């Protein structure tokens, strides 16, 4: 798919991976709409980058998603690419008796439900275009669960399965919508993975944000259904051979760092 002269919506577009993709795609002569919870952050970014557009919305809230969809239908009816990047990551000690169970589902609401809500709501618009694309960002952690962030790992595995099923429904429908899953490794320069900065394995399995964006853009241009970036490529093979060893080693390091801080 040609990545110029498109209308692109990026959730989680005010920071991290989402913002980096938004700026790169904007510089490739696309009309890019960033979505985030904070109107203040959006206003700041639009002031710094006047070519961007922005809509404040909480994608974990179905009402907000409907309002967002109505705005897209009205103001950006030629939307043809959606990049689902919004995500939060939290650490939990599941043996902490003071941890309310109600606090365990925030990542599900944003990471998984948000992706599902946005995709379902915007599919009718995407289907009308001659060619369109949905990019869902899962993670290396959909292959290798990280023990101190168990809910995050579960949401990324859920996004993987959802994306595969979505691709089959799109194929069955005959719609010309490319369904892409992007699997980053741990990515430096984001606020999600700072807790792993001192873990020994981090230096081996992490990649700079610029490398992720480069690989993502290249894969999108080729309509690749699955884009494994950096260590994710190797991990996919290692998990077939020694899954328990890798899981235990990484789990021990991350839990030790989390519980001893």
Q: What single string gives the DSSP state of each residue in 166-223?
A: HHHHHHHHT--EEEEEEE--EETTSSSSGGGTT-TTHHHHEE-HHHHHHHHHHHHHTT
Q: Which residues contact 241 (CB under 8 A, 6 or more apart)?
A: none
Per-residue pLDDT tens over the stretch 150-207: 999 999 999 999 999 999 999 999 999 999 999 988 766 555 555 555 554 555 556 7
On whether residue 1 sits in a domain, the answer given is no
Closest CA to 33 of 44, 19, 47, 17: 19
On whether residue 70 sits in a domain, the answer given is yes
- Output the pTM of the full model: 0.89
Mean pLDDT value across residues 53-79: 98
On whether residue 219 sits in a domain, the answer given is yes
Poorest-pLDDT segment among 107-111, 211-215, 230-234, 243-247 = 243-247
- Give the pLDDT score at 196: 52
pLDDT band at 143 (very low <50, low <70, confident <90, very high): confident
Q: Which domain holds residue 112?
A: 7-259
On whether residue 211 sits in a domain, the answer given is yes
Domain count, the chain: 1
Per-residue pLDDT tens over the stretch 85-132: 999 999 889 999 999 999 999 999 999 999 999 999 999 999 999 999
Sheet of 31-36: strands edge to edge? 53-56, 31-36, 7-11, 81-84, 132-137, 177-183, 226-228
* CATH number where 90 lies: 3.40.50.720
On whether residue 142 sits in a domain, the answer given is yes
On whether residue 162 sits in a domain, the answer given is yes
On whether residue 2 sits in a domain, the answer given is no
């Amino acid at each position: 798919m040609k990545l110029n002269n498109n209308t692109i919506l990026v959730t989680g577009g005010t920071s991290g991976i989402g913002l980096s993709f938004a700026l790169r795609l904007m510089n490739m002569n696309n009309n890019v709409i960033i979505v985030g919870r904070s109107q203040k952050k959006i206003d700041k970014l639009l002031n710094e980058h006047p070519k961007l557009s922005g809509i404040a919305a909480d994608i974990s809230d179905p009402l907000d998603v409907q309002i967002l969809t109505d705005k897209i239908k009205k103001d950006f009816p030629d939307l043809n690419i959606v990049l689902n990047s919004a995500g939060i990551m939290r650490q939990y000690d599941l043996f902490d008796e003071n941890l309310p169970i109600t606090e365990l589902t925030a990542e599900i609401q944003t990471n998984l439900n948000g992706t599902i809500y946005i995709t379902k709501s915007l599919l009718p618009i995407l289907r009308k275009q001659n060619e369109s694309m949905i990019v869902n960002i899962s993670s290396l952690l959909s292959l290798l669960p990280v023990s101190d962030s168990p809910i995050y790992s579960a949401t990324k595995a859920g996004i993987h399965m959802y994306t595969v099923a979505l691709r089959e429904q799109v194929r069955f429908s005959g719609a010309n919508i490319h369904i892409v899953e992007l699997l980053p490794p741990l990515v430096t320069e984001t606020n999600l993975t700072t807790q792993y900065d001192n873990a020994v394995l981090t230096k081996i399995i992490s990649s700079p944000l610029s490398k992720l964006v480069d690989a993502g853009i290249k894969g999108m241009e080729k309509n690749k259904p699955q884009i494994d970036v950096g260590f994710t490529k190797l991990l996919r093979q290692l998990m077939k051979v020694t899954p328990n060893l890798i899981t235990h080693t990484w789990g021990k390091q991350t839990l030790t760092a989390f519980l001893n801080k």
